[in-house]
A = this chain, B = another copy of it.
Amino acid sequence: METTWAQHLREAGLRVTRPRLSVLDVLADHPHADVDTIVTGAREQHPSLSPQAVYGVLTAFVAAGIARRIEPAGAPALFELRVGDNHHHLVCRSCGAVADVDCAVGAAPCLSPSDTAGFVVDEAEVVFWGLCSTCLSRKHEEEHPA
């Protein structure tokens, strides 16, 4: 797998380093990981890895277009490797879990607000807020104990 990652990095114009490979591995395992998760995970392969290095790696990934940063309100930023397909996210209000959703109403429907107030729009970001199935059943049990 690492060979592929190295290639992936080179194609994006980035040098191949151990911190970067470790971060890619963690992101492959955790499709919506926050910095803390990435640091912890990447340290299994590279124990001396510093949080700042992870910030640097992620900034480079986002700049090179091989990762995307998402920032749900009220939570630390998350990073994902799925880029370039304009998908959106479901976020659980209770536990913060994130799931991907393909664009809701066709190709890129939300990219056309009715009145753009003079703005030139280049991206529409959609976040669906709700409860994930786990939190739903937990909540249901609490309210109606068996």
Pick from B90, B109, B125, B126: contact of A116, CB below 8 A: B90
Give the segment of A3-11, A36-44, A131-139 that binds chain B.
A131-139
Question: Once bound together, how far apart are the Cα atoms of A115 and B90, in whole Å?
Answer: 10
**In this assembly, does A74 line the interface, its C-beta being within 8 Å of a C-beta of chain B?**
yes
Q: Can you name the residue of chain B whose Cβ is closest to the Cβ of A70?
A: B73
A62-119 contacts to B (CB < 8 Å): 69-71, 73-74, 77, 88, 90, 92, 99-102, 104-105, 109-119
* A117 engages B131 (CB within 8 Å): no
Pick from B100, B120, B126: contact of A126, CB below 8 A: B126
Answer whether A113 and B131 are a contact pair too, CB < 8 Å, given A105-B105, A120-B136, A124-B126: no
CB<8 Å pairs between A and B, sample of 12: A71-B74, A99-B117, A104-B109, A104-B112, A109-B109, A110-B126, A117-B132, A119-B128, A119-B131, A122-B131, A125-B129, A126-B126
Given contacts A105-B112, A123-B128, A124-B129, 4 further A-B contacts (CB under 8 A): A71-B71, A104-B124, A119-B132, A121-B129
